[in-house]
Amino acid sequence: MKRTVKIGGVSVGGGNPVAVQTMAKAAATDIKAIIEQAAAAKEAGCDIFRVAVPDMSAAAALREIRRNIDMPLVADIHFDYKLAIAAAKNRADKVRINPGNIKKAGLKELTAALKDLRVPVRVGVNGGSLEKSYKNSSDRASALASSAMDAIRLMEDLGFYDIVASLKSSSAAETVAAYRQIDKLCQYPLHIGVTEAGTPERGIIKSAAALGSLLLDGIGDTVRISLAADPTAEVKAARELLRAVGLDKSFVEVIACPRCGRCGYDVGGLAQKVEDYTRNVKKPLKIAVMGCVVNGSGEAGACDLGIAFGGDKAVVFKDGSVLKTVGADDAEGCLFEEIKKLLL
């Protein structure tokens, strides 16, 4: 189990639930846009919100942003360690720095300041910005892990331990290999993600392949799915990932058969209606919409509620037992009646 690091009001590591992060797509100085994006992300299920800080005006804007958002605020810093110090002084709950573009002397000064201010740091290594000594390594996963550990050991030598680590690559396989290495070396919480994952269609799949593998192995304490999309899309994708790997159970899971020539009912359409109807329900329930008798009765019978079609009839199951048999034309209405009872 990793150390616990507190980021504002959210604790990561130490067996705490995996926290979902996203990043603003507006400039920090556009405070109104940042606040709006943060509110939408929070509504979608975000736990931690990050903002890019490229200059001192952005660092100064953090104070007003902090006053107006209802979750931990992280400042994302590259190149200039002084920006990280300014961000911490302006009430950032955590700073993220990239050891690939901050010199050792600056890292030491920053560490001393963060220790004094009691602000945690994420040592965030990126595959595209490794320092020169690692840039041409043939084993990039090891290079990512080594780069992070170099910075972590420097901070430890200075008596600073409020650290989160991340090793991000645009390659799913490289990302997984790097995190598996540092997980064995590092006592600190791991922020997992695939950097520059791409558009939602491909980026979600790439991220799910990498991050799902890690989460199923018990690796990862906080997660961001990085997409060329709105922050809320990132949050929703991350939440669905946590549900898929069993780390978030407070939702209604709707399972449905893929449909084949044996099925004469629009199972997909009905399953989508059920999912839309229960989307915001925070109860750990499982509902099945199945198209035929091959696996239908078994899958539906194993759920809190389910329906299995066969010819011109449908069987409704509840808690593993047959509740009733109805005509196919009445099946949708019957199913939703039972769903409403279940949600009371």
- Ranked by mean pLDDT, the top range of 80-84, 136-140, 292-296, 300-304 is 80-84
pLDDT in tens, 198-240: 899 999 999 999 999 999 999 999 999 999 999 999 999 999 9
Q: Is the per-residue pLDDT at 295 higher than 90?
A: no
Equal fold, 5-244 vs 252-343: no
| pLDDT tens digits for range 43-98 | 999 999 999 999 999 999 999 999 999 999 999 999 999 999 999 999 999 999 99
Q: Does domain 5-244 have CATH number 3.30.70.890?
A: no
333 Cβ neighbours under 8 A, 6+ residues apart: none
Domain map (residue ranges) of the chain: 5-244, 252-343
Taking CA atoms, 115 is separated from 32, 53, 88, 93, in Å, by 31, 20, 11, 13
Pairing of β 222-223 and β 94-97: unpaired
CATH 3.30.413.10 fits 252-343, yes or no: yes
pLDDT of res. 137: 85
- Sign for the pseudo-dihedral over CA of 76, 81, 83, 84: positive
Contact 33, 26 (CB under 8 A): yes
Band of the pLDDT at 299, cuts 50, 70, 90? confident
What is the pTM (predicted TM-score) of this model?
0.92
- Over the stretch 126-162, which tens digit does the pLDDT of each residue have? 888 888 888 888 899 999 999 999 999 999 999 999 9
**C-alpha to C-alpha distances, 298 to 23, 308, 324, nearest whole angstrom:** 43, 9, 15
Q: What is the pLDDT of residue 247?
A: 97
Token pair for 234? 């990132």
Q: What does the pLDDT look like over 15-51, one tens digit per residue?
A: 999 999 999 999 999 999 999 999 999 999 999 999 9
C-alpha to C-alpha distance for 225 and 16, rounded to whole angstroms: 19
Contact 343, 325 (CB under 8 A): no
Q: Give CA–CA dist 286/288, Å, rounded.
A: 7
**Angle at which helices 81-89 and 56-68 cross, to 10°:** 30
